[in-house]
Structure 1
Amino acid sequence: MAVSKRTAMAIKSYRNQAEVLVKNYLLSDPFIPYTAILGGILASKVVYDLTQLISAFYFRGYAGLTKIQRIEWNNRGISTIHALFIATISLYFVFWSDLYSDDNLAGLVTFRSSPFSTFALGVSVGYFLSDLGMICWLYPALGGLEYVIHHSLSGIAVAYAMFTGEGQLYTFMVLISEVTTPEINMRWFLDTAGLKRSNAYLINGVLIFFAWLVARIMLFVYMFYHVYLHYDQVSQMHIIGFLLVFVVPSALATMNLMWFGKIIKGLRKTLAKRQ
């Protein structure tokens, strides 16, 4: 009985120490970015391993894939989970949270941040670092130069907003575009699984078209309009942050338009085959 009581007290003591460690160090304001980045990297590794494990058990065609196809399959599992996470968080901060609302008078909108917003951006930085590392290591099997540019620009912009607290609203606006990633990945999964002529493949193409139009075309127009309306606040940012607000979204918007042209061409080709 005494042993059990001592064990319970020891467990409680370790738990209290762990809580103090998390509260005073890992989640204290100076350490939040580093904790979040590390968490994003570790989460990417866990999701990669889980995707590999689940796919091996539940998808009969997985074992028949080539080594590089299995790596890309697992890699797309990571990007899908990250996209669902960051797109949900971004939608919340941009449209539902009052943190960046014009009705909130707590300072300029371009300088507002919170521990939660900083942590979410840090997780995203961890993902971009992990994915960029895999792309470069296996280049060009997981993506060409456009993917390296996209991930590099995104990672730099997100990291800057995370560390400085500047322009987080516009960073979240851009990150909403990640909502298109699951559809893109599903298209690759269907193609790899030999279901290119299925109805699911056609429906997926239509979903990609509308999701891309809203999240990567119209939303960027809205972001630039918001910057225009709040230019007096944007102009007070540090020169690096000021340039990132204009340069990175402009570059990504250009790439989005180029990819959108390919999406339209691919959808038209798919629909023509169905007639």
Structure 2
Amino acid sequence: MVTVSKKTTMVLKSYHSQGQVLVRDYLLADPFVPYTSVLGGLFACKLVYELSQLIFTFYSKSYSGLTKIQKIEWNNRTMSTIHAIFIASISSYFVFWSDLFSDQHVDDLITFRSSTLSTFSLGVSVGYFVADLTMILWLYPSLGGIQYVIHHSLSAIAVAYSMSSGEGQLYTYMVLISEVTTPEINLRWYLDMAGMKRSTAYLINGVVIFFAWLVARILLFVYMFYHVYLHYDQVIQMHIFGYLLVFVVPSVLAVMNLMWFWKILKGLKKILAKRQ
């Protein structure tokens, strides 16, 4: 029995060592990171979608009463919520806490800095945008109209370029922080489906969306453009495609954010007026 136990332990250690080598030398090796991260993002989206369907079928009465397309949108929003929490957290870390993009480092240009973690995280986000955009186009316009197609297409292109080239990752992460508003938007939809549109929770959610949107999708974009202005001498040294992406994509998204913000403001005013 002791001999068998030792053999089992040795076999497990062997598999563990082989697994570590596989992850270190292949899956997370620099040349393979973009590919493994995108595939990982796609797999994670599929996993979250299926788990959402399984969990809410058994534990949510509201989910059981939905139509087929509403259930698809419910699961899709669960997927987008998990991605938003992940990428907003990673983005905040790199923008506000990590030394990777610190101005104190003068040995290289800020627009060309990257790391294995920063590249891998962007790859996961690319996987999400590809998965979500595919669902939007496949079921168009049930999961969103042309604005969502434009938003996801531009985001996927910009993030994919930043991931593969290593250029402009700081500005990509600044824009991706805006995903912090996604869980609140999705929660609003869930509350609506649950028949809680007149509840206090729905009102509080609207107020949170207003302030989160103002900070993450308006003020932070202003800060990003100001940062680009201060570091323009470094931005202009990027490849022409990356240079254009730094200006074009955030500008288009900023306009869309302002349009959506106006709708959010009008909706909040309408809810507050009904409460008086």
- What interval of TM-score do these two structures reach, taking the shorter chain for normalisation? over 0.9
Gaps of 5+ in 1: none
The residue correspondences of 1:1-275 to structure 2 (distance < 5 A) are: 1=1, 2-275=3-276
8 Å contact from structure 2 (residues 84, 183) kept in 1: yes
Distance of 2:35 and 2:217 partners within structure 1? 29
Moved more, 12-21 or 146-155: 12-21
8 Å contact from structure 2 (residues 62, 193) kept in 1: no
TM value normalised by structure 1: 0.98
**TM-fit CA distance, 1:214:** 0.4
Q: Which amino acid aligns with 2:92?
A: L
Distance of 2:63 and 2:188 partners within structure 1? 16
**TM-fit CA distance, 1:97:** 0.6
**TM-fit CA distance, 1:57:** 2.1
**TM-fit CA distance, 1:5:** 2.4
Moved more, 217-226 or 96-105: 96-105
Structure 1 runs, 4 residues or longer, greater than 4 Å off: none
Q: Which amino acid aligns with 1:174?
A: V
Distance of 1:13 and 1:94 partners within structure 2? 40
The sequence identity of aligned pairs, in percent, is 74
Distance of 2:107 and 2:76 partners within structure 1? 40
> Structure 1, residues 129-176: CA drift from partner, whole Å, max 9, x if none?
110111111111000111011000000000000000000000000000
Q: Which amino acid aligns with 1:142?
A: L
Distance of 2:117 and 2:20 partners within structure 1? 18
For the aligned residue pairs, the C-alpha RMSD in angstroms reads: 0.8
Distance of 2:264 and 2:128 partners within structure 1? 25
> Structure 1, residues 43-63: CA drift from partner, whole Å, max 9, x if none?
111111111122122211211
Distance of 2:165 and 2:224 partners within structure 1? 20
Q: Which amino acid aligns with 2:222?
A: V
Aligned residues: 275
Gaps of 5+ in 2: none
> Structure 1, residues 161-210: CA drift from partner, whole Å, max 9, x if none?
00000000000000000000000000000011110000000000000000
Give 3-state SS (helix, strand or coil) of 1:119's partner: helix
> Structure 1, residues 229-265: CA drift from partner, whole Å, max 9, x if none?
0000000000000000000000000000010111011
Distance of 2:4 and 2:98 partners within structure 1? 50
